Structure 1
Amino acid sequence: MTDEQRISQLKKRDRNALKDVYLEYKTEFFRFARRYTKDDIVLEDIFQDAVIAVYENALAGKLDDLKSSLKTYLFSTGKFMLFKKFRDTKEMATDEDYIFDQRETAVMEDVFEDQGPNEYQRQLVANFKKLGEKCREILELFYLQGMKLDEITKKQGYDNKDVAKSQKSRCLKSLKQLIGKHNG
């Protein structure tokens, strides 16, 4: 089922579509979000809140012109909710958990004040779609799903971690060049 079909079903208040979104992305979201906290109760709460937010936004028509995939939108929503929880409760991760550095904290604060994608972000999405499938996949695995290079090496069948790292670097460079051409 395409994202557009799923969003259409959500807009019709189809509970099965909501259940499908929940079941399809829960495990992967947990794996992604564990870089920020290992607390499964917190992750469950955040994921449920993110799914409900996606559902409500679909009902309100806010996903009609979605520029990313539904999964990316859901994960971003959950990630920002998680950041907001840390910001609001002043909780910080323990030694084993992910600790936010100053730059990430500044980004989190900017995100909550953000009014939507800026021109650079729109260009990023548009140019990301111009990359080859392998490049899109490795960048999504690393940046959106939070997979480590070792995991990507196994999943993508690269010879070793260095090959995966080089491929990611080349893909990122290609994306930056595409964006630069548009700005230049």
Structure 2
Amino acid sequence: MTEQELFARICQGDEQALEVVYRKYYRMMVRLVTSNNGTENEAKDVYQEALVVFWQKANSGNLVLTSKMSTYIYSICLNLWRKELDRKKRFSNEEKDAIQYQEQEKEEKVKIIHECIDRLDDTCKKVLSYYYFDGMSMKEIAEKIGFANTDTAKTKKYKCKKKLDELIKRLYSEHDFLD
């Protein structure tokens, strides 16, 4: 069956003719997308969407092919794929911006915490810094500072953390730390 015959049948609503077109040009359309940073699944989606567009235009009675049918479908696929790439790029940029914003927020919170820790007494500074920033265990902290045992270190950490929380609440609004 020639392209003109297939096109005429599609214009009359022949779904079997559309299936023939689908199989006939499938590899070409998959190559188009996969050679332009796409996956085979993305290619399938784009090709199916392109055929829906083609089917609707052909059935509207307003489509006059001035090129080969394969060229027309190829151009629909190409345009759809370009739109998808643009959408991905926008999404990727938005995602990067969100990550950058989160990192800046985290850095700001850490800076505030450091500033507040610096206002505490020396023992509290050491206990909290060793525990939260150096990742030391209660046993290591007790030995390093000279506490009698780990229970003393735990109690001191609890009290120092409570002082830190109160200081942060007093100096900064709660929404700075609720995110």
TM (norm. structure 2) is: 0.47
Q: Which has the higher contact order (CA 8 A, sep 6+)?
A: 1
The structure whose Rg is larger is 2
Q: Which has the higher helix share?
A: 2
